[in-house]
Structure 1
Amino acid sequence: MKTLLIFLLFLITNKLCFAQDNLDKEKLLEFYQTQRYAEAANYLSTIYPAETSDIKALTQIAYCNMMAGKLVDAEKGYQKINELQPKQIPILFSLANINSRRGNKRVAGDYLQQIIILDSTNFNAYKRLADYTDSVELKLKHLQKANKLNSTEADVAFDLALVYRDQKRYQPAYDVLKIAIAADTSNMILQQALLPMANQLKKYNEVIITGEKLLKSGADGNVVLDVGKAYFFLKNYKKALGLFQMLERMSMQSESVFYYISLCFREMKNYEKAVKYAMLTIDESISPNISAYYNLLGGIYDEKQQLNLAASAYKKGLSYNTNKNIYYRLGLLYDLKLKQPKAAINYYSLFLKSKDLEADDQPQIDYVKVKLAELKK
């Protein structure tokens, strides 16, 4: 038995030595330099036996497969290395990266957790873990840890500030961004992210100084809006109005933009235009589908035989927009269930007058015409 083991070890050693002797390093280097990683992986696989335990060889092949996009083969290679030499942080990172690229975020997160157990100060592991969790609480925890380890890293500072902003924690969001900006004073992304936080903290002059510099590099809509708000709160209504109207000209109007335009005109005693933009604000705030939503709600009440609630829901939908389907439903409701023929005639007639009737509506049109004839007798 002992003789057999020695013989097998001799064979393996000979194979590895043979592989090293036959490896054309210049050829392999050419593959790397020209980024022909799939060819490099195939070449290495012809040199090293499939059952090899040579960590260096396995790592080279796995890396080439990963770079070539052959993720299944790459994962198998790194898993074998992990079995032979567990708890190697570079290998765990590679396995996390492969699973992330394949959409297996939970598995990727498990590998990153293993890295943290091995190295509780690994910045990159915490940074990437924040991307792999759907839990806001865990995302915040990982970003806070990463930011503590490296407070000047821009991506983490930006992501952490956004989480704070969503939680309406504007002061810590502002503080995190200020530290990162101090380390990279030309980072426009961080400066832009700072503006809404500064506005919330009433640092209006800072918003204007920073924002005006940013606007010289291009009129980004969010920057224009934030600077406009700062001017508004400083009661410079003319300057604020100019910025908000710039957004309107850029077709970047929104409920918020129309609201502030209306406020500016009101403060400038131009009540006619203030009313116009107040109405636009209301229109912008209402979903164009709201009548369809009330039609849905009315239909549900109708099926539950809650007829008065159904009628109220249908009519509420009509208060926002005319809707042929609601007219039809109301006609049916008053005709067949509430037994109010006058109301039924009214809604059936409105249905037939709808301007958006299509060929698909012909069966309903024919039915309504018959019903109207019956009801009018």
Structure 2
Amino acid sequence: MKNLLTLLALFSFSLTIYAQNGDVLDKEKLFDFYQSQRYADAAQYLKSIYGDAPDDFKTLSQIGYCFLMAGNNVEAEKFYSKAYTLQPLNLPILFSLGSISSKRGNTEKAKRYYGEVVKIDSNNFSVYKLLANMYSSPKEDSVRLIYLLKANKINPLEGDVAVDLAEVHSGYQQYEKAYDVLDIAIKGDSDNLVLQRAKLPIANQLKRYAEVITSGEKLLKDGADAGVIKDVAKAYYYTKKYQKAIDLFKMLEAAAMQNEATLYYTSLSYRALKNYAQAATYTKKTIDEAISPNTSSYYSLLGLVYEENNQLTLAGAAYKKGLQFKIVPTLYYRMAVFYDTRMKQPGNALKYYMLYLKSKPSLLNDKEEIKFTKDRIAQLNLTD
């Protein structure tokens, strides 16, 4: 309520009571629109009083604000842009136009508005944070780093910037810098679990395993976060507490959150315990996890490309390579047709036609291929 009264005071009392058409602004009606968050109605009401093109800065910014809060970015930008022509150094207007441009996908335009804010106020934390978020691709990390460093210098205790800055430092393998950034932020907010989670993998990189285990175990009491489990398990592995590492890695596997790395460390842990049977099992799981389930299909496509380019030796090798990763009915069919029509090797063709049927192709989706295969097997058998 207090905020709404303040907002109304800032805007409505600064407006001219009598508008261009002589209508009087009903402050209570406008306040009711704000109180019930009917910002679109408030914008239309103000337009009905002041028209579509008022020349007063306060009026323009108020109507722009109403449209912005109503989610009408097109109209909001129109009124804010007019306000900008009157006061191009106004920070709230620049922030609003930057935000609208960003929401509408015009990142370069947003950068220009935020860049103007920097020229006016070089110690503005918010604008550096916003600019950092505008450079999100790995190729732009060097620029992002500049803005994150500026924001962090102004407010080293702000958690979001600390996490982002630590991430960029880690990307450059500057783990000590990343650790220090998070350490300072955590000292200012010791209950911030996001900061604590972000610190674990960096502490692992710095071989501060005891810290990872102590902090990580406390975090696990608040919930089984997959990232925390992985980091604590790795710390247990490096401190030669292999069974504890295995127990945690298996928690990830039970929740279907395992990956190549977690399976690999599980295998290493079993090997360290001389449980070679389980070590072999998890090494195979690691290999399976590392290989894309589509690899055989990719080799099938490669073989087809070679075949169409009359590179028959390469085509045959690609088809066979695909079978080493996964048995796919389509790949057997391709090989059968390849040996039948391109290589003129009926013996090999018959073998792969048979393997195709044994691999249980889809009766619904592959019915034409199945029929052709059965007919062709009969023909080849008659030839023999």
TM-score, scaled relative to structure 1? 0.91
TM superposition shift of 1:315: 0.7
Partners of 1:103 and 1:91 in 2: CA distance: 18
Aligned alpha-carbon RMSD (Å): 1.9
Partners of 1:36 and 1:360 in 2: CA distance: 54
Partners of 1:181 and 1:369 in 2: CA distance: 69
Select between 73-82 and 110-119 the one with higher mean Cα deviation. 110-119
Q: Are 1:170 and 2:172 an aligned pair?
A: no
Partners of 2:364 and 2:248 in 1: CA distance: 47
TM superposition shift of 1:61: 1.0
Partners of 1:21 and 1:336 in 2: CA distance: 87
1:156 counterpart residue number? 161
- The answer to whether the 8 Å contact 2:129/2:148 transfers is yes
1:216 counterpart residue number? 221
Partners of 1:314 and 1:329 in 2: CA distance: 8
1:117-154 alpha-carbon deviations (Å, 9 max, x no partner): 22232221121112223423322222222222222211
Partners of 1:188 and 1:200 in 2: CA distance: 19
2:85 counterpart residue number? 83
Select between 357-366 and 342-351 the one with higher mean Cα deviation. 357-366
2:237 counterpart residue number? 232
1:9 counterpart residue number? none
1:11 counterpart residue number? none
Letter in 1 for 2:378: A
1:112 counterpart residue number? 114
Partners of 2:320 and 2:169 in 1: CA distance: 42
Partners of 1:356 and 1:363 in 2: CA distance: 11
- The answer to whether the 8 Å contact 2:125/2:155 transfers is yes
Task: Report the CA distance shift for 1:254/1:51 in structure 2 as closer, same or farther (over 3 A).
Answer: closer
Partners of 1:28 and 1:73 in 2: CA distance: 19
1:334-373 alpha-carbon deviations (Å, 9 max, x no partner): 2222222221121122112221332332222232333333
Could you tell me which runs of 5 or more consecutive residues in structure 2 were left unpaired when the two chains were aligned: 1-14
TM superposition shift of 1:21: 8.4
Structure-to-structure mapping, 1:30-49, within 5 angstroms: 30-49=32-51
Partners of 1:365 and 1:17 in 2: CA distance: 83
TM superposition shift of 1:68: 0.9
Structure-to-structure mapping, 1:171-186, within 5 angstroms: 171-186=176-191
TM superposition shift of 1:17: 5.0
Select between 123-132 and 168-177 the one with higher mean Cα deviation. 168-177
Of residues 239, 248, 251, the one that matches 1:243 is: 248
1:129 counterpart residue number? 131
- The answer to whether the 8 Å contact 1:16/1:48 transfers is no
- The answer to whether the 8 Å contact 1:265/1:271 transfers is yes
- The answer to whether the 8 Å contact 2:17/2:25 transfers is no
TM superposition shift of 1:244: 1.6
TM-score, scaled relative to structure 2? 0.89
Equivalences, count: 363
Partners of 1:304 and 1:161 in 2: CA distance: 50
2:8 counterpart residue number? none
Partners of 2:330 and 2:197 in 1: CA distance: 46
SS of the residue corresponding to residue 180 of structure 1 reads helix
Identity level (%): 51
TM superposition shift of 1:187: 0.6
Q: Are 1:261 and 2:266 an aligned pair?
A: yes
1:220-271 alpha-carbon deviations (Å, 9 max, x no partner): 1111111111111011112222222222233322222222222222111222
2:198 counterpart residue number? 193
Could you tell me which runs of 5 or more consecutive residues in structure 1 were left unpaired when the two chains were aligned: 1-14
- The answer to whether the 8 Å contact 2:95/2:114 transfers is yes
Task: Report the CA distance shift for 1:357/1:18 in structure 2 as closer, same or farther (over 3 A).
Answer: closer
Select between 327-336 and 184-193 the one with higher mean Cα deviation. 327-336
Of residues 72, 75, 90, the one that matches 1:73 is: 75
1:66-104 alpha-carbon deviations (Å, 9 max, x no partner): 101121111100000111221222101001111222222
Of residues 87, 97, 100, the one that matches 2:99 is: 97
Q: Are 1:18 and 2:18 an aligned pair?
A: yes
SS of the residue corresponding to residue 366 of structure 2 reads helix
TM superposition shift of 1:24: 2.2
- The answer to whether the 8 Å contact 2:23/2:49 transfers is no
2:152 counterpart residue number? 147
Partners of 2:347 and 2:361 in 1: CA distance: 24
Partners of 2:54 and 2:243 in 1: CA distance: 76
Letter in 2 for 1:56: K
Partners of 2:37 and 2:213 in 1: CA distance: 48
1:12 counterpart residue number? none
- The answer to whether the 8 Å contact 1:290/1:317 transfers is yes
Partners of 1:234 and 1:192 in 2: CA distance: 20
Of residues 55, 58, 71, the one that matches 2:57 is: 55
